[in-house]
């Protein structure tokens, strides 16, 4: 689903955020991405979302080389990627339903279809009864679940999460993780960027570790080599 | 939910645009999807319906936002209205002035004084010769005796003239031209001046010319004013939309993250610009009409004193719709500039 081939990113200020990072993320796999702040996690996610472009190497999403994408392709790429943010990025000027419906409205779904799909997504995250509320009235965990519902409502083949459990207590974190595991089970490639080591320790999933822009570990949590 | 299965939708832009770029040279093709994870996609028809729907939604949304911030919207609309009512109102007044002078032009004439010794027969001959040729509609003969009688009657110098041995007034032919165009009149003046027995041609239309020059000046001023105020409307709109963009920054970021195209992001702002402009233009029409109604009484009285048959005419029916549309276009232009300038600055980040 995602392939990084010797990808380097140097910012205009001369900082090397990533150096020759290579890995492959197959469909249906849940992978953690970790590292200290400034290790390059955000840059890696930005390259996948085409918020930034690599200085060297190539990124392939769904077997398509992003280097060949012009700016006008970016929206279509992003429609294949569900993104979950630490701060949820919900819009408080509209209902939960409208927040979740946004990707479908943008992608041009028919009205009737939107209603069905939004309710299915809200049902999946257990918030079907809150569709008419404003997200500001929801708890942090519920807001995060709305964010997840929005990320998956158009069934993207790839799900990215940036510190999805950052502000949540362990019980809520577990609920969120269960959702991610469910999506991986039905074939979605899930990449979770986090520095929550306890979360990583609780699940034995593939782990990518970055340090100063280099991929220093690729394997499961115990250290066994994996993939690539 | 019945996902239209992947990769086949003919009109699917995602698949079509993305195909040229294939996997890296050294990578083996892998199965594109695992069963169960269908990327949701849509048909061309659905897209069109939804595109139209989004236009309707954007317009609705724009109107709703104008209504929600009624006070500040009203101010912006009034600024636009006043800026446009000024040149529009002046243009209407100028139109009226032009119509009125058209009535006055009929009085323009040339006085052709003949040599003293020209006979009355020759005078009549010339008059009838000129009549109907080259921009002359009508000629009028004033013999020396008639001129003297008229002068005596009007000037009050009758006694002085009695004392003169001869009648000092030359024979006169009054020529009425069919046009008041300065160039035509000048040519006519030269032509008559070169005719036999003609001593002097005097053009009695200087004041008409001055009026025309004034009207032309007025037109130029209104054009300049219109240009300047139209630019002001565009700038007002750039600023208004810039603020609107700023206040919806979060929304724009989210829309971009979930794959909204630039067009999708731009559309509501363009509608907002158009709505502001259109409402401003409509208000300008109302302002002008009210002002004309207010001025109508005194102006008509003034016209009557000048014994003109004209009365104040208001805006042409076509301007009633053209002005709001023109103003809407200005609003659209302002919004377009603001969006082009500021939307690119807002990119998702995390």
Q: Where are the domains of chain A?
A: 1-80+156-228, 92-155
What are A139's two structure tokens? 């708890």
Buried b (16+ CB within 10 A) or exposed e, B172-182: bbebbbeebee
* Contact between chains at B39 and A157 (C-beta distance less than 8 A): yes
B279: Cβ contacts below 8 Å, ≥ 6 apart: B66, B77, B80, B324
pLDDT band at A222 (very low <50, low <70, confident <90, very high): low
Mean pLDDT of A203-208: 89
Residue B40: per-residue pLDDT: 46
User: Low-confidence residues of chain B, pLDDT below 50?
Assistant: 1-40
Residue A97's H or E segment, with its range, is helix A96-107
Name residues 77-96 of chain A within 8 A of B (Cβ): 77-80, 83, 85-86, 89-91, 93
Residue B21: per-residue pLDDT: 36
Mean pLDDT of A131-139: 93
Residue B28: per-residue pLDDT: 38
Residue A135: per-residue pLDDT: 94
* For B30, nearest residue in chain A (alpha carbons): A63
Tens digits of residue pLDDT in A31-82: 999 988 888 898 999 999 999 999 999 999 988 899 989 888 899 999 999 9
pTM value?
A: 0.71
Name the percent of chain A lying above pLDDT 70: 96
Residue ranges of E strands in chain B: 110-114, 136-142, 172-177, 198-203
Smallest CA–CA distance, residue B44 to chain A, in Å, is 9
What are B93's two structure tokens? 């007044």
Look at residues B2, B36, B32 and name the one whose alpha carbon lies nearest to residue A185. B36
Q: Which residues of A touch B64 (CB under 8 A)?
A: none
| B256–A contact, CB cutoff 8 A | yes
Domains in chain B, start-ordered, CATH in brackets? 55-103+215-345 (no CATH), 109-204 (3.30.70.3040)
| B159–A contact, CB cutoff 8 A | no
Tens digits of residue pLDDT in B132-143: 777 787 888 888
Residue A20: per-residue pLDDT: 92
| B32–A contact, CB cutoff 8 A | yes
Residue B343: per-residue pLDDT: 85
Look at residues A192, A184, A186 and name the one whose alpha carbon lies nearest to residue A144. A192
* For B350, nearest residue in chain A (alpha carbons): A42
Residue B306: per-residue pLDDT: 66
Rounded CA separation A124/A228 (Å): 32
Nearest by CB to B259, which of A106, A109, A111? A106
Nearest by CB to A75, which of B1, B254, B261? B261
Contact A7, A56 (CB under 8 A): yes
* Contact between chains at B1 and A117 (C-beta distance less than 8 A): yes
Residue ranges of E strands in chain A: 2-10, 16-25, 30-34, 56-61, 64-65, 81-84, 158-162, 189-193, 206-211, 214-220
CATH topology of domain A1-80+156-228: Rossmann fold (3.40.50)
Residue A183: per-residue pLDDT: 92
3-state class (DSSP) for residue B28? coil
What are A157's two structure tokens? 């083949």
Rounded CA separation A142/B221 (Å): 64
How many residues are listed for chain A in this entry?
228
Residue whose structure tokens are 């921009």: B135
Look at residues A49, A55, A60, A56 and name the one whose alpha carbon lies nearest to residue A2. A60
ipTM: 0.89
pLDDT band at A221 (very low <50, low <70, confident <90, very high): low
* For A89, nearest residue in chain B (alpha carbons): B254
Residue B145: per-residue pLDDT: 83
């Amino acid at each position: 689903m995602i392939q990084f081939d010797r990808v380097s990113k140097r910012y205009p200020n001369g900082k090397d955020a990533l150096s020759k990072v290579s890995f492959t993320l197959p469909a249906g796999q849940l992978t953690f991405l970790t590292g200290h702040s400034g290790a390059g996690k955000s840059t890696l996610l930005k390259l996948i979302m085409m918020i930034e472009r690599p200085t060297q190497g190539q990124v392939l999403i769904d077997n398509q080389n992003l280097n060949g994408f012009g700016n006008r392709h970016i929206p279509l790429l992003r429609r294949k990627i569900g993104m979950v943010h630490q701060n949820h990025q919900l819009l408080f000027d509209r209902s939960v339903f409208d927040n979740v419906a946004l990707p479908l409205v943008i992608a041009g779904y028919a009205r009737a279809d939107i209603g069905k799909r939004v309710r299915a997504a809200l049902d999946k995250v257990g918030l079907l009864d809150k569709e008419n509320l404003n997200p500001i009235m929801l708890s942090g965990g519920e807001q995060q679940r709305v964010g997840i519902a929005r990320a998956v409502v158009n069934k993207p083949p790839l799900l990215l999460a940036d510190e999805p459990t950052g502000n949540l207590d362990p019980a809520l974190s577990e609920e969120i993780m269960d959702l991610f595991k469910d999506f991986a089970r039905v074939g979605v490639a899930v990449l979770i960027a986090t520095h929550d080591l306890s979360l990583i320790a609780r699940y034995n999933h593939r782990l990518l570790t970055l340090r100063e822009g280099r991929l220093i570990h690729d394997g499961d949590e115990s250290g066994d080599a994996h993939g690539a | 939910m019945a996902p239209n299965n992947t990769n086949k939708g003919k009109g699917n832009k995602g698949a079509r645009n993305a195909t040229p770029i294939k996997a890296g040279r050294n990578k083996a093709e892998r199965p594109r999807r695992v069963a169960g994870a269908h990327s949701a996609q849509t048909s061309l028809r659905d897209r069109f319906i939804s595109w139209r729907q989004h236009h309707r939604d954007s317009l609705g949304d724009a109107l709703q936002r104008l209504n929600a911030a009624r006070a500040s919207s009203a101010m912006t609309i009034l600024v636009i209205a006043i800026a446009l009512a000024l040149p529009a109102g002046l243009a209407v007044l100028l139109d009226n002035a032009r119509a009125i002078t058209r009535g006055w032009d009929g009085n323009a004439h040339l006085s052709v004084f003949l040599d003293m010794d020209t006979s009355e027969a020759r005078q009549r001959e010339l008059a009838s010769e000129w009549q109907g040729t080259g921009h002359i509609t009508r000629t009028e003969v004033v013999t020396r005796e008639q001129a003297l009688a008229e002068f005596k009657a009007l000037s009050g110098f009758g006694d002085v003239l009695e004392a003169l041995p001869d009648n000092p007034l030359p024979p006169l032919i009054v020529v009425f031209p069919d046009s008041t165009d300065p160039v035509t009149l000048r040519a006519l003046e030269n032509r008559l001046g070169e005719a036999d027995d003609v001593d002097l041609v005097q053009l009695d239309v200087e004041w008409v010319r001055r009026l025309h020059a004034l009207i032309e000046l007025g037109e130029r001023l209104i054009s300049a004013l219109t240009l300047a105020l139209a630019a002001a409307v565009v700038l007002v709109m750039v600023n208004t939309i810039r603020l609107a963009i700023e206040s919806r920054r979060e929304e724009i970021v989210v829309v971009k993250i979930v794959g909204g195209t630039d067009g999708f992001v731009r559309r509501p702002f363009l509608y907002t610009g158009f709505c502001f402009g259109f409402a401003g233009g409509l208000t300008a029409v109302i302002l002008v009409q009210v002002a004309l109604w207010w001025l109508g009484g005194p102006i008509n009285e003034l016209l009557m004193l000048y014994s003109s048959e004209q009365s104040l005419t208001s805006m042409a029916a076509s301007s009633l719709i053209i002005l709001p549309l023109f103003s809407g276009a200005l609003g659209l232009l302002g919004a377009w500039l603001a969006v082009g300038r500021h939307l690119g600055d807002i990119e998702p980040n995390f």
